[in-house]
Amino acid sequence: MTMTDQDAGGRVLRALEDGDPSVRLKAALAAGTAPEPRFVGPLVERCAVEPEFFVRDMLTWALTRHPVDLTLPRVLRELGSARARARSQALHTLSKLGDRRAWPAITRGHLTDGDDEVARAAWRTAVLLVPDGGEADLAAVLATQLGRGGRETRLSLSRALIELGDAILPALDAAEAGPDPRVRTHALATRRLLRDPDAGFGYAIEEAKRVVALGGAGT
């Protein structure tokens, strides 16, 4: 590495901490365009605190441009962070890396995290990385979150479950037989979307509400 390269890399690292988000965005782009091993740690650290979504997305892209054997261990350590943003962005980055060696690090605690953004990121990542044969067990954990949160959170969960295919049916059966109408409604709507992917989530929810109100069950 020449002195000029070292100077350029130093400018990138300093720019990642700049108060202007457009400067941070350009720095993340530069880090991904000309990746260097020394960028990995600072990129991961910036992900944990970056307030701007579009900058975080570029930071993740930059990490995917580095060798996965460098990025994966560093990203995995963030899963245990006390900061919700660090956990959610680490999970998002793992989904982009797509390396199934990360699977054992995604725990039930992540899938049921009290922060909706962390949980949603965990759901998306888990269904991408789950090993063959593990779909039903994952579905059983995800089903414990049925009825959770607002529309976007419920839609995220339904989409994650649907990615698992028919492996979710036993979990949906159990949820639909439970006492909580919110859980039953969400389970019925998810089943409808599994059968008919073109059905809108809003329509599926409203149909499920009618079924639950009448005391019925899905078919």
pLDDT value for 16: 96
Contact between 39 and 31 under an 8 Å Cβ cutoff? The reply is: yes
Confidence of residue 8 (pLDDT cuts 50, 70, 90): confident
Flag whether 174 is in a domain.
yes
Q: How much is the average pLDDT of 19-30?
A: 97
Count of domains for the chain: 1
pLDDT value for 153: 95
Flag whether 145 is in a domain.
yes
Flag whether 117 is in a domain.
no
pLDDT value for 6: 58
pLDDT value for 1: 44
Judge residue 173's burial from the number of C-beta atoms within 10 Å of its C-beta, 0-12 exposed, 13-18 middle, 19 or more buried: middle
Asked if residue 165 has pLDDT above 90, the reply is yes
Asked if residue 156 has pLDDT above 70, the reply is yes
Flag whether 63 is in a domain.
no
Confidence of residue 196 (pLDDT cuts 50, 70, 90): confident
Flag whether 210 is in a domain.
yes
- The CA distance from 162 to 139, in Å, is 9
**What residues make up the domain containing 217?**
135-219
Q: Note the pLDDT tens digit of each residue in 116-126.
A: 999 999 999 99
Asked if residue 176 has pLDDT above 50, the reply is yes
Confidence of residue 3 (pLDDT cuts 50, 70, 90): very low
pLDDT value for 217: 52
Nearest to 116 by CA among 86, 154, 163, 144: 154
Tokens 């995220």 -> residue: 156
Token output for 28: 């993340």
